[in-house]
Amino acid sequence: MAVTRKELKDNAKQALRGNWGWAVIVFLINAIIVGVFTGCGLRFDEIYMNYDGNSFLMQWLSPLGSLLGWIGDFFALSLAISFLKLRDNQKEEKPYMAAFSVFTENRFVPECLNFILTRIFTFLWTILLIIPGIIKSYSYSMTAYIVKDMVASGKQVGATDGISASKELMKGHKMDLFIFDLSFIGWFLLGGLTAGIGLLWIVPYYQTAKANFYRHIAGDKFLK
């Protein structure tokens, strides 16, 4: 990479300067929504695992739990989109709109299709071996950003366009992003030690720095 991790993080702090209140509110709204879906999904899984009968309804609890977890993860893409827009000086001023940004500006369908296929492909690779699954997850990691840029440029985005572009973009950068993620482990451990309160600032910091990572390797390639 032509830019260091320190520079990515410093640029993130600069982008967040004067926007911390907005960033915390966006994350908090999104986290509550994601938490509800994820929590319900885990609860359904728990009920299913502890149930000894053969009720038809109970047989659907585990798939429903997984679906709710996926919905929660899809909502979380709003953070990636919102903090990329912040990084690009295109901040959505209303925090509640930013928290739902995956659904706005005609992004929902292409983001949803690419998200679903990303999850399916990653799952299939993980079935083979854990390591290939992790590698593929990094190959697909820029999909949401790319779809956001493609939609912003007025392109018609297919179900795998973002995935294919992410695979190509991440060639030679997967290890860079892996090390970048490792550099935040201490921060997330600190967030855990504060009963999650510290995450109100840590997650926006991480998301903005990751948006910097994307923009530095992609430039305006997908905005043209």
Taking each helix axis as running N to C, give the angle between helix 161-169 and helix 108-128, from 0 to 180 degrees, rounded to the nearest 10. 60
Place of tokens 């509640």: 96
**Residue 113 pLDDT level (bands cut at 50, 70, 90):** very high
Beta strand ranges found along the chain (DSSP E): none
Q: What percent of the chain has pLDDT over 70?
A: 96
Distances (CA, A) of 138 to 101, 118, 170, 178: 23, 11, 8, 8
| 101 DSSP assignment | G
pTM above 0.85, yes or no: yes
pLDDT in tens, 9-49: 999 999 999 999 999 999 999 999 999 999 998 888 777 77
Query: Do residues 2 and 216 touch, judged by C-beta distance below 8 A?
Result: yes
Structure tokens given for 112: 């949803």
pLDDT of residue 56: 64
User: What are the phi and psi torsion angles at 3 (to 5°)?
Assistant: -125, 145
Taking each helix axis as running N to C, give the angle between helix 5-16 and helix 61-87, from 0 to 180 degrees, rounded to the nearest 10. 80
Q: What share of the chain is helix, strand, coil (3-state, %, to 5)?
A: 75, 0, 25
Q: Name the nearest CA neighbour of 214 among 141, 130, 155.
A: 141
Structure tokens given for 143: 């999909």
Average pLDDT, the chain: 93
Whole-angstrom Cα distance, residue 193 to residue 184?
14
Residue 54 has pLDDT above 70, yes or no: no
Structural domains counted in the chain: 1
Residue 222 has pLDDT above 80, yes or no: yes
Question: What is the extent of the structural domain holding 193?
Answer: 5-223
pLDDT of residue 52: 63
Structure tokens given for 176: 């860079």
**Mean pLDDT, to the nearest integer, of 130-154?**
96
Residue 53 has pLDDT above 60, yes or no: no
Whole-angstrom Cα distance, residue 189 to residue 164?
33
